[in-house]
Amino acid sequence: MHVIATAGHVDHGKSTLIRQLTGMEPDRWAEERRRGLTIDLGFAWARLPDGCTAAFVDVPGHERFVPNMLAGVGPVPAVLFVVAADEGWMPQSSEHLDALDALGVRHGLLAVTRCDLADPGSASEQAHDRLRDTGLADIPVVHVSGRTGAGLGELRHELDELIHRLPEADREADVRLWVDRAFTISGAGTVVTGTLAAGTIRSGDHLHLHPADAEVAVRGLQALGSAEQQVSAVARVAVNLRGVDLDRARRGSVLLTPERWLSTDVLDVRIHRAVDLPRELMLHIGAAAVSTRVRPLGHDTARLALRAPLPLRIGDRALLRDPGSQRIFGGLVVLDVRPPQLTRRGAARARAAELTTMDGQPDGVAELRRRRLVRAADLRAMGAAPPGPGPWLLDEAHRADLCDRLAALLAQHRQTHPLDDGMPAEAARRALDLPDPALLPEIAQAAGVSLRAGRLRNGPTPLPERVRRAIEEIRRGFIDHPFQAPTADELAALGLGDKELAAAARIGALLRLAPGLVLLPDAEQLAVPRLASLPEPFTLSQARQALDTSRRVAVPLLELLARHGTTQRLPDGTHRLVSAPDAAGNTGGNSTPRR
């Protein structure tokens, strides 16, 4: 199936041509047939000579129904532009052309109608002149009469040729179906229709309905009046939905592949004919129309703040229109759906310069370079292919900068907190503005920094000079009495608190038995020969005497030896060595226990 929209001034014969081509009535409402003009969107289809099927979206030509016209034209790749031979080019002809040009429609066919009432030459020349500077310049022209049927054979032939010139749709693309009609059917429930421009919808699929924020299931599908198990782009499709009431589905709603689209209410765009833009305009894209505030940035770029978010991607085309004057102010191409905030002085000017380098073509490498750090899923949802594996992508230049910043952070932390066991990882993550803790190990590894137990370290932390001198004085005191630990008063006199003692223990300068209680680093090895001289089992008091120390030191030292498997505390509270010392005073884990 191929989808073609009509365009042209009111009462120039668009609906008549569709009836002649399809044998179907495109005007759906009795009021439309009574008044002889299309008020809402009409739909009909026909099989062309070579077997292709053309589905027509018949749009209203009256100026009061321009939003309806835009809803029909928005997602459609080609147009049948109609001009009456007896009236020629008219105001709504220009408005429809402006809309088509703004939306980037480049494929079409010009039908000059009512050729039984006037010579089509003049109207054809007028139309070609108006089309000359647009994307529809030099489209084929056919002279027809809806009343007599003259030229309909040629029209069908040219429609065939037009269809074969259309680019192939991507049937594997993510689904984004702009809803142009929503209604209920007794026994079926909510049904929505639209033009599927890309992707495939299957019966049983689960889709996301925006802006209702509802997960819905595809209960059934119809295309060209027939039930289908799947429908691929480009196609007119009716989707029967399960899981949503009619009051949550309306024109402008969107059916989306779940978790593959970003909804945005702020975007940067390039505007064609961006002259004297009002601050408030209406953005039309697909079948949606959303009020937007316009902030010009460069001579043809602007930031749009939408009143309601839309699922958009880089490269999307839309138009800006003033609903009061009916004037179309220009077409636009989306450059960025996640633009940076403009809060600093000069940010808008810098952003305008950056936008001049962007062409609206999704480029994963360029986006990563600009954003420096981005989720692969977000990049894909913007329409750009991720240039590497996810889940996070990091620009190499930014990686190098983060490594330098991490090294500087650690140096600063060491200077301001010389006794700390490295820098807390969470503090470093916040300082580096990393959005996910999982990113920090990668940065640490690249910077040659170790990350253990929630702390970052880039080598041993040297003790401050005053602490080093105090530790040396303590060590000298242990020479004659290695198990007589300094008292709290003695430590305080030396300016050593528990943070200083813990820092000394981390670098192996002392053995820290408990807060405020330290011995020499080799105290365990020194204790074993003395304990080996005792009869077994031995008591705490005997151990204290052998070690020439106090209960304050003996209790935690014996507990440490037991934890390391050197001694064993028996049920009656006595102790024994698990293994005997060798000639060098070392214990062996596989030695025979002494009895």
Domain boundaries of the chain, sorted by first residue: 2-165, 176-252, 263-361, 364-391, 396-457, 480-577
Instruction: Report the C-alpha gap between 348 and 244 in whole angstroms.
Output: 42
- Give the CA-trace dihedral at 370, 374, 380, 385, to 10 degrees: 50
CATH superfamily of 263-361: Translation factors (2.40.30.10)
SS3 call for 440 = helix
Instruction: Report the C-alpha gap between 119 and 106 in whole angstroms.
Output: 27
pLDDT at 33: 40
338-364: average pLDDT: 94
Cβ neighbours around 182 below 10 Å, total: 20
Please state which CATH class domain 480-577 belongs to: mainly alpha
pLDDT at 465: 85
Rounded to 5 degrees, φ, ψ at 369 are: -65, -40
260-278: average pLDDT: 89
Length of the chain: 595
> Which fold, 2-165?
Rossmann fold (3.40.50)
Cβ neighbours around 559 below 10 Å, total: 14
190-214: average pLDDT: 94
CATH superfamily of 176-252: Translation factors (2.40.30.10)
Instruction: Report the C-alpha gap between 11 and 117 in whole angstroms.
Output: 14
Cβ(386)–Cβ(379) below 8 Å: yes
592 pLDDT higher than 60: no
For 42-75, write each residue's pLDDT tens digit.
Answer: 778 788 887 788 888 776 533 443 455 455 455 6
Amino acid at 22: T
Instruction: Report the C-alpha gap between 364 and 468 in whole angstroms.
Output: 54
For 389-438, write each residue's pLDDT tens digit.
Answer: 889 999 999 999 999 999 999 999 988 888 888 899 999 999 999 999 99
Best CA proximity match to 543, nearest among 535, 532, 531: 531
pLDDT at 93: 87
241 pLDDT higher than 50: yes
Domains 2-165 and 263-361 alike in fold: no
Cβ neighbours around 435 below 10 Å, total: 11
6 pLDDT higher than 90: no
Cβ(45)–Cβ(2) below 8 Å: no
Cβ(163)–Cβ(48) below 8 Å: yes
Best CA proximity match to 69, nearest among 104, 27, 99: 99
- Of the candidate ranges 31-45, 91-105, 301-315, 332-346, the one whose mean pLDDT is the lowest: 31-45
Best CA proximity match to 70, nearest among 7, 137, 133: 7
> Which fold, 396-457?
Arc Repressor Mutant, subunit A (1.10.10)
pLDDT at 422: 87
